[in-house]
Amino acid sequence: MLFVIVPAYNEEKNIGRVLSGLFSQGLENIIVVDDGSNDNTAEVAKSAGAVVLKHEVNRGQGASLQTGNEYALAGGASYVVHFDADGQFNPADIVEALAVMKDKNIDILLGSRFLDNRSQIPWTKKHIVLPIARLINRFLTGLKLTDVHNGFRILSRPALQKINISQDRMAHNSEIIRQIKEKNLSYLEYPVEVTYNEYGQGVGGGLKIILEILQGRLTK
Amino acid sequence: MMVIQILLTVFFLFALVKVIARFRVGDLAKGGLVLWSLFWVAAAVVVLLPNSTAYFAKLVGIGRGADLVVYVSLAAIFFIIFKLMMKVESLNKDITKLTRKMALGEKKDNI
């Protein structure tokens, strides 16, 4: 059984479109984790037909994904997709990616916007921000990837059982990559399309992530 | 008497009053009351009788008592900041745990 987890914080404007895109792919078990939104994200998601898990207070994307993971595990998921709520991803990528993953018997699939040329990445992001992020991640996680901050991923049940996201905010991405290496999970990067509605996290966001990673290393 | 001595002493008295007030409303245990009261009284003593620390300063090889007070205070403050950061981090983790439990608990019947 496939679960799609969509962490959402104040996404009432985008979530409806994202969910109908997912349903139109014939996907079921779509779980929206409403991360303490101040707007109508939960209501919009519910009326679109998703299961809504509600964080009473905002805990961050990492925390939301872990909540979704635990729900999916308890619900008997064999695969879990992580999918952003802001409409950046193309829902058509899920079915294809899943087929490849099953075919090759891979534990975890990571989306990459660099493996084909569908994604129109802003120049500064493509040539400055993301290459630096890549280097830092390689240094901190020891895994060589083309796209280190892509929220699109598919976890098999074994990966779901082994990976535990303790980084509540944005550093969960690097944390997952580190755990792939530590727990010897087989992984595959797969081309996905990323559409830029907004710039996303700038350099300041990147620095914050590094701080979160380092802080996470110091505390248990 | 220097102005700074008066100002600091008044401030320490104010802190002492706050400590007692906290104890009265039950935010502070008896042990905390004694410890913090002693701390502020000692601080006032050091300010009013600066030479009282000279003995300890000489003992550890520092010239002036005031320097010793500054060094020790800084070390203590940084340690307290460290402890607070750890505490905040563990509170954060606890809040996440609770939030998750509530989110999943509400849905348990539906699985």
For A164-194, write each residue's pLDDT tens digit: 999 888 788 888 988 998 999 999 999 988 8
Q: What is the mean pLDDT of residues B78-86?
A: 96
At residue B51, does pLDDT exceed 90? no
pLDDT recorded at residue A15 = 95
At residue B7, does pLDDT exceed 60? yes
Cβ distance of A53 and B86 shorter than 8 Å: no
Q: Which residue has the tokens 């983790």?
A: B93
Q: Which residues pair with A79 in a beta bridge?
A: A2, A156
Q: What is the mean pLDDT of residues B65-79?
A: 92
The domain A2-218 is classified under which CATH number: 3.40.50.2300, 3.90.550.10, 3.30.565.10, 3.40.50.1980?
Answer: 3.90.550.10
How far is the C-alpha of A200 from the C-alpha of A23, rounded, in Å? Answer: 25
- Taking the CA atoms of residue A124, residue A126, residue A127 and residue A132 in that order, the dihedral angle to the nearest 10 degrees is 100
Residue B106: list chain A partners with CB under 8 A: 53-54
pLDDT recorded at residue A202 = 61
Interface check for A85 against chain B (CB to CB < 8 A): the answer is no
Interface check for A73 against chain B (CB to CB < 8 A): the answer is no
Interface TM-score (ipTM) > 0.90: no
| For testing contact with chain A, the best of B91, B100, B104, B109 (most A CBs within 10 A) | B100
Q: Which of residues 26-65 of A touch B (CB under 8 A)?
A: 33, 36, 51, 53-57, 59, 63
pLDDT recorded at residue B109 = 55
Cβ distance of A53 and B106 shorter than 8 Å: yes
At residue B14, does pLDDT exceed 90? yes
Band of residue A199 on the pLDDT scale cut at 50, 70, 90:
low
Q: Bigger pLDDT: A128 or B43?
A: B43
Residue B89: list chain A partners with CB under 8 A: 215, 219
At residue B40, does pLDDT exceed 90? yes
Q: Which residues pair with A31 in a beta bridge?
A: A5, A51
**C-alpha Rg value of chain B to the nearest Å:** 22
Q: Give B94's contacts (C-beta < 8 A, 6+ positions apart).
A: none
pLDDT recorded at residue A51 = 96
What residues does each domain of chain A span? 2-218
Where is mean pLDDT largest: A136-140, A142-146, B103-107? B103-107
pLDDT recorded at residue A219 = 65
At residue B86, does pLDDT exceed 80? yes
The closest alpha carbon to A108, from A156, A179, A165, A162, belongs to A156
At residue B4, does pLDDT exceed 60? yes
Q: Phi and psi of A44, rounded to 5°? A: -60, -45
Residue B88: list chain A partners with CB under 8 A: none
Q: What is the mean pLDDT of residues B97-110?
A: 83
Q: What percent of chain A stands above pLDDT 70? A: 92
Q: Bigger pLDDT: A215 or A79?
A: A79
Q: CB atoms < 10 A from the CB of B50, how many?
A: 15
Cβ distance of B100 and A67 shorter than 8 Å: yes
At residue A99, does pLDDT exceed 80? yes
Band of residue A220 on the pLDDT scale cut at 50, 70, 90:
low
State chain A's mean pLDDT as an integer: 87
How far is the C-alpha of B59 from the C-alpha of A1, rounded, in Å? Answer: 72
Task: Write out the two tokens for B7.
Answer: 């100002």
pLDDT recorded at residue A201 = 61
Cβ distance of B104 and A56 shorter than 8 Å: no
DSSP-derived pairing of the beta strands A79-82 and A51-55: unpaired
At residue B110, does pLDDT exceed 60? no
Q: Phi and psi of A55, rounded to 5°? A: -80, 125
At residue B15, does pLDDT exceed 60? yes
The closest alpha carbon to A5, from A58, A59, A45, belongs to A45
- Give the Å distances, CA to CA, from A25 to A22, A91, A94: 5, 7, 9
pLDDT recorded at residue B44 = 93
Q: What is the mean pLDDT of residues A188-208?
A: 75
User: CB–CB of A53/B107 below 8 Å?
Assistant: yes
For A31-68, write each residue's pLDDT tens digit: 999 999 999 999 999 999 999 999 999 999 999 999 99
Cβ distance of A51 and B90 shorter than 8 Å: no
- Give the Å distances, CA to CA, from B40 to A84, B17, B81: 53, 10, 19
Dihedral sign computed on CA atoms, order A19, A25, A29, A31: negative
Instruction: Give the max Cα distance, chain A.
Output: 44
Q: Which of residues 102-161 of A touch B (CB under 8 A)?
A: none
Task: Write out the two tokens for A198.
Answer: 């907004």
Q: Is A144 helix (H, G, I), strand (E, B) or coil?
A: coil
What residues does each domain of chain B span? 1-48, 64-111
Residue B110: list chain A partners with CB under 8 A: 51
At residue A195, does pLDDT exceed 90? no
pLDDT recorded at residue A87 = 87
